[in-house]
Amino acid sequence: MLVIVAPGQGAQAPGFLEPWLEDPVFENRLHWLSAVAGLDLAHYGTKADADTIRDTAIAQPLLVASSMLAALAVFPHPGDAFTKMGALAGHSVGEIAAAVGAGVISAEQAMVLVRERGKAMAAAAAQTATSMTAVLGGDRDEILAKLEQYGLTAANDNGPGQIVAAGTVEELAALAADPPAKTRLVPLSVAGAFHTKHMEPAVRTLAGYARSITTHDPRSRLISNRDGQIVHDGRDVLQRLVQQVNAPVRWDLCMQTMADLQVTGILEMTPAGTLTGIAKRVLKGVETFALKTPDQLDDARAFVDKHGSPSEIDASPTWRLLVAPMKGTFTRESQVTREPGDTVEAGEVVATVKSLRDELEVRAPHGGIVVEWLVEEGDPVAPGQPLVRLHPSAVN
């Protein structure tokens, strides 16, 4: 199985788009996204220095545009992607690019959302002196206890030995003076404590914009930063994109879901390298490909052909599928068991999926009429596996 991933803030480097802009198609598309974002992305991706593109309001639109356009270069006919990719994920702001790849929102909607996200997060960061520090190595439980002791948040949990602490500069200074055992602390050059309570003003701003965005249900498995779950309701995806601004990025759980899916290949979009680097350490035996320059495109397509398989949930829009949010055991709702022909109300719980880690309800966000159950009671299910097919009722 192939998973396509998009990197988050910090992956950018001066001049990383220079070779891409030699392609007039890529250049024209970037100019269009620049017009939507109100930023000269070509300039920032080729001529601007590291300090300039570190600015949150610039870095975020630049990263999302770059990942989206690199994906278009791999799949010149975008619909072909759904015959190859088994899942998508994006780290932090990269999740916006992943949502576009899954068909939840359009590229233009993404650029407006990420433009306002970057501006709002920069404004929130300016209110209090905050920052972030990578905590490398050590024992996870000991690290989390030490962060709690000093009022810090594990803003990014990227797997064993890779936790990013975030909070005020005073809190981070206290951590530096009393670090967890067997760890190395690396202060990050960022504008603020992203994915913490300090970003709450940005969440309120984005929630207002989100109310005006139309969505579609994902056409492929979309792995959420919040908890590693597969999300298959477009409005839920958008809500999570808003809420993730002040919520920790659980990339460790995203990779656990990839392992549960038995992924064999991970393709990272431009500017690539960060997420494939983490995957090499955590997902042993999984092949990775970091797409950095256009001269790699033929090899990237060969990688896609090697690992690709059709998405199970690329279904006709006249049907609605409810899918498993995680790996576990399927159980139909015992209170009111729905059979083919029965109506399911919007928001109704129709099943649960239970794992060693959690037990989650599966709700029908829009309701509909049961066409068929696709799994049996007690079946083991994979993340994103279709459970039941619904036909939209007249009121939906």
Active site (catalytic) residues: 92, 195
Unique residue bearing structure tokens 């951590």: 175
Separation between Cα atoms, residue 192 and residue 172, nearest integer Å? 12
Cβ atoms 353, 326 nearer than 8 A: yes
Cross-strand pairs, 265 = 2, 287
Whole-angstrom CA distances from 26 to 36, 115, 303 are: 15, 20, 21
| Strand order through the sheet with 386-391 | 320-323, 386-391, 368-373, 343-344
- What are the DSSP calls for 306-342, one per residue? HH----TT---TTSEEEE-SSSEEEEE-SSS---TT-
Distances (CA, A) of 99 to 148, 153, 234, 236: 32, 26, 9, 11
**265, two tokens:** 């290949």
φ/ψ of 220, rounded to 5, equals -145, 165
DSSP letters, 267-292, are: EEPSS-SHHHHHHHHHSTT-EEEE--
DSSP string, 208-219: HHHTT------S
3-state helix, strand, coil in the chain (%, to 5): 40, 20, 40
